[in-house]
Amino acid sequence: MDMLFLSHPLLAIIFIAAKVIELTDMLQLH
């Protein structure tokens, strides 16, 4: 996993962005 993120930083950014969007959606539902 770590090597994948190091070789493809864009994937890490997209992965983190997706998690942030999911968290914000959950907070908006409540």
Taking only the tens place, the pLDDT of each residue in 1-30 is 566 666 778 888 999 999 999 999 999 877
DSSP code at position 8: -
Report in angstroms the alpha-carbon separations of 16 from 9, 25.
Answer: 11, 14
pLDDT at 4: 62
How many other C-beta atoms can be found within 10 angstroms of the C-beta atom of residue 8? 12
Q: Check if the beta carbon of residue 28 is closer than 8 Å to that of residue 21.
A: no
Angle CA 8–6–16, to nearest 5? 70
Helices of type H across 1-30 = 2-7, 9-29
